[in-house]
Structure 1
Amino acid sequence: MSANIEPPKADPNVKVKYTKIFINNEFVDSVSGKKFATVNPCTEKTNAEVSEGNKADVDKAVVAAKKAFARGSEWRKLDASARATLIYRLADLIEQNINELANLESLDNGMPFPMSYHSVGTAAKHLRYYAGWADKIQGSTIPVDGNSFALTRKEPVGVVGLIVPWNGPIGLYGMKLAPALAAGCTAVIKPAEQTPLTALLLASLVKEAGFPPGVVNVVPGYGATAGAAISAHPDIAKVSFTGSSEVGHAILKAAGESNLKRVTLELGGKSPFVVFDDADLDLAVQTAGSVFVHAGQICIAPSRVFVQAGIYDEFVKKAVAVAAATKVGDPYTPGCIQGPQIESRAVDKVMGLIESGKKQGAKLQIGGERHGSVGYFIKPTVFSDVTDDMQIAKEEIFGPVQSILKFNTFEEVVERANATTYGLAAGVFTKNIELALEFAKAVEAGSVWVNQYSLLTSQQPFGGFKQSGLGRELGKEGLDAYLEIKTISIKTPTNN
């Protein structure tokens, strides 16, 4: 971040300024006139009534985005360096409004305020990283047989649909929009129905930054209507989606049946976190406790903790102490790292999985209950004696539940870590770097962290194996996902 950014200042009384659909640089009512409530998961009270977009609104947004992308448009005529200047300006505006954005994020989804503040900064970093790429998108020349000269051009795919989840709206907004803009695409963004407020405030900053009308459009609404319309729209060339594997399958099907659009999917995870007996035990225990951060509502959460037999009992004892010390409550409270689940349905699902753990023989060490009488809070929960066949070891919980499993040998833990339909992330703790590298090579996961966890930066590609997704976001690979390669062959007089 820039040196002049304001320090974090929590404000639970932050005002909601924007609640309408954003198309062509204007805030407008939905075609149907319908609205939906966005609810504060801490208080269970309504934050605001937001215009509900559906297919008709998506169609309007796509028309605007298509016009903005058309040959000869203001956006398409911009030099690449001018495009970068606009992206840098948006990053500056995000940082200038960092406290308002972060407080609005915490109001809308219960994310602890320091985490929201960091997430806003991360979005700005993504924008700056990809702004730097805007004038460095290059093709190549190719030696070919005969009297020809061949070259490639990299061109923007066109109008893209960006479907952003509720658990990290600002950071993922930046992760998806930044490479799309750097490539020269135009976008229709659908924020999750639970958390539309920061997406709309960010839309106002897009206009303030000076982006031409239609380049960025934001349509809040439900997945089954607005999201489905984006996935199936014949004039959208690519969809980037972060969310559940179930919805990812539906998007892939719709994309194939409509126009065979490109799809990037970042889906669920059941990430193995492996601790060998030579590891720094305290560091491993504290890091594994990140499963409680943001109430476990993080796709890469270390939800399957495999601990070698020699240190298993000590690890469990220390893990219980970490859970007991975890501060749960209002996200604006200093020291709070665990806020509420996003909604009552999420609480029901997590509590159902906790009950399954009890019934299937796992030992409940701590937690396993609701926290408080108002808000969607669950106590930090630790299970030991978990086996691979239990529901809590197989299903993505998306809650503050730590499952600790015991293993003996390297080969055993690799086989068990890979025995899942997911493959998003993994962690390994050991002082033996050769062992760590061998595990990193053997585990089926898109990101592997050694003696640390959840390091995500703009420069590193991120995505999953198996049913954790398709394609990559971030890094150069994230930019390539928004580009087409065109090959041009030119006849020459000789083959010299």
Structure 2
Amino acid sequence: MQDYPDLHLYIGGSWRTSPETIPVCDPATESEIGRLPQASRADLDDALEAAEAGFRIWRATPPRDRVDFLLRAAALMRQRREEIAQAITAEHGKPLAQARLEVIRGCEFFEWDAGEAQRTYGRVIPSAPGIRYVVHHEPIGVTLGLSPWNFPLSQPARKVAGALASGCSIILKAAEETPAGALHIARAFHDAGLPPGVLNLVFGSPAEISEHLIAQDPVRLVAFTGSTRVGRQLAARAAAHDTRALMELGGHAPVIVCEDTDPARAGESSAIRKYRNAGQVCTSPTRFYVHDSLFEPFLDRFACRAATIEVGDGRDPGVEMGPLANERRLPALLDLIEDACAKGGELITGGSRIGNRGHFLQPTVLANVPDDARVMQEEPFGPLAVVNPVASVDEAIARANATPYGLAAYAFTNRADYVDRITRGVEAGNLSFNTLEASLPETPFGGVRASGTGREGGTEGLENYMIVKTVSHSMEIV
């Protein structure tokens, strides 16, 4: 395919292939667009050796020089935005406009963390005469980054940016279904002159790669974004080797719509955000708890907007929502819809596959779904929203917290007392009022409970890639 790159592994500053490959397919057409090499055990050992050597070089590189590499790579990706966006749309299916924005967002992660690389300050602790205590922040070491398929460039960018800005080297295992974004990151850093081994890119069996690399002593941090089920397995594996784990896991974001809100504006903006990236976003607003007095007008505007969303090949003009990224998502979502309706939920719009070629699903809205329906507990990770009425903000808070997840949550209100009650009551790592933006490069992002541990982004994000060392200086000569 003209707009899709040749795929390689990147180890020790060199590109390499493998006799074992798997297909990469276009989810809009189901046709093969590339062959992805799979890393062998020898490739993984080479990547580990390269990352060790790269770490020795990179940790000794002055922060100002690290900044230059990060900014040069980001500038190259901005220049190549159209080429990268075309590749992302080909492998993932999202509309080109969204793919272009993803490239920019990934660049912003590098640019923000580049600035923070010069501000990983320590401190001097006041003490008695003749002694001084100094706190240092040092890079933790070789990082294993595991990124998902839903944002092919921005998700791996977050991990690479945090690791490199902190002085760590990284072995990145990106998603096999959407490898081009990570490949373009590696290309940009290669062309920016990054020392060999600081960034390594591998693909292959996720279980085999994680099992082999997490057990190796040089790997000091596992940074994972993905499902709660897999995250728990990786965290347990890391704990067995006393390896730190940074886990950004699943979500099931609630939205509280209070009675003082404009239901039309809230419904319109909620529908637009819900179907971004075909709902394949860990922070996607999914469970809407709307005050009784606004329920009908909110549902009407939300459903009307959902029904008019243009679905199709992401390369076609005017398309607002592309296909689901892989074939697994279609039956999974259709099962959730069927279960909800069987338990008494109302199908307001959508609910069916579109055509028989490509992984397309209609934007779907369910209403009055009972709490025992699977969709009320299981993250749909697709273009499926549930709108239910509530009698009060307290009921909405209780129902918002009625899942194991706590990644993102949202609320629409103009009342200060409601803001205070929702802020205190909702269990989530990220809470937004009157906006459905969950995170920015400068803000820490992560969850509570089943949604993970640690943070990415912001000053707090770099702390996960560093250790704290306290040094005591006695002025007395012994």
TM-score class, shorter: over 0.9
AA aligned to 1:167 is: N
For residues 451-490 of structure 1, give each alpha carbon's deviation from its aligned partner in whole angstroms, at most 9, with x where no partner exists.
Answer: 1112421111010010001100000000111111111111
Amino acid at match of 2:154: G
Change (3 A) 1:76 1:270: closer
CA offsets 1:345-400 (integer angstroms, 9 cap, x no match): 11111111111111111011111100122100000111111122211111101111
Aligned partner letter, 1:44: E
2:367 aligns with 384
Aligned counterpart, 1:326:
309
Listed as ranges, the matches of 1:251-262 within 5 Å are 251-258=234-241, 260-262=242-244
> Does the 8 A contact of 1:267 with 1:464 survive in 2?
yes
**Displacement of 1:14:** 4.2
The answer on whether the counterparts of 2:4 and 2:86 sit within 8 Å (CA) in structure 1 is no
The residue aligned with 1:270 is 252
Output aligned runs, 1:26-425, within 5 Å.
26-30=14-18, 33-70=19-56, 73=57, 75-145=58-128, 147-258=130-241, 260-289=242-271, 290-425=273-408
Aligned 8 A contact 2:77 2:103 in 1: yes
Displacement of 1:54 in angstroms is 4.4
Give the structure 2 partner of residue 15 of structure 1. Answer: 3
Partner SS state of residue 365, structure 2: strand
Q: Does 1:441 align with 2:429?
A: no
| Amino acid paired to 1:132 | G
In 1, the alpha carbon distance for the partners of 2:265 and 2:318 equals 19
1:456 and 2:444 correspond: no
**Normalized against structure 1, the TM-score is what?**
0.93
Q: Are 1:268 and 1:424, in contact at CA under 8 Å, matched by a contact in 2?
A: yes
% identical aligned pairs: 33
Shift of 1:287: 2.3
Deviations 1:327-351 (A, max 9, x none): 1111112232211111111111111
Distance 1:451 1:263 in 2: 33
- Residue 226 of structure 1 deviates from its aligned partner by 2.1
Q: Which amino acid aligns with 2:253?
A: S
> In the TM superposition, what whole-angstrom CA distance separates every residue of 1:171-203 from its partner, at most 9, and x where no partner exists?
112211112111110010011111112211221
| Letter in structure 2 aligned against 1:148 | I
Contact persistence 1:362–1:384 (CA under 8 A): yes
The count of residues paired between Structure 1 and Structure 2 equals 476
| Corresponding letter in the other structure for 1:59 | D
**Deviation at residue 145 of structure 1 after TM alignment:** 4.4
C-alpha RMSD of the superposition:
1.5
- What SS does structure 1 have at the residue aligned with 2:219? coil
Letter in 2 for 1:53: A
Distance of 2:416 and 2:84 partners within structure 1: 41
Partner SS for 1:136: coil
Deviation, 1:138, is 1.6
Asked if 2 retains the 8 angstrom alpha-carbon contact of 1:54 and 1:229, the reply is no
Per-residue deviation, residues 198-217 of structure 1 (Å, max 9, x unmatched): 21122121110010000000
Aligned residue for 2:317, secondary structure, equals coil
Provide the C-alpha distance between the structure 1 equivalents of 2:239 and 2:438, rounded to a whole number of angstroms. 33
Structure 2 distance, partners of 1:281, 1:314, is: 6
- d(CA) in 2 for partners of 1:404, 1:17: 41
Structure 1 residues 176 and 417, CA gap change in structure 2 (3 angstroms):
same
Separation in structure 2 between the aligned mates of residue 77 and residue 483 of structure 1, nearest angstrom: 14
1:482 aligns to 2:465 (yes or no): yes
**The 10-residue stretch of structure 1 (91-100 or 341-350) with the greater mean CA deviation from structure 2:** 341-350
Give the Å deviation of 1:127: 0.7
Amino acid at match of 2:266: A
Conserved? CA contact 1:291–1:301, under 8 Å:
yes
> For the residues of structure 1 that align with 2:373 and 2:175, how far apart are their CA atoms?
31
CA distance, structure 1, for counterparts of residue 157 and residue 165 of structure 2: 12
User: What residue ranges of structure 2 are gaps of 5+ in the alignment?
Assistant: none
1:14–1:103 contact (8 Å) kept in structure 2: no
Aligned partners of 2:90, 2:5: CA distance in 1, in Å? 13
| Distance in structure 2 (CA, Å) of the matches to 1:352 and 1:283 | 31
Q: Following TM superposition, where does structure 1 have runs of at least 4 consecutive aligned residues deviating by more than 6 angstroms? A: none
| Aligned residue identity for 1:26 | S
Answer yes or no: is the 8 Å Cα contact 2:152–2:180 preserved in 1: no
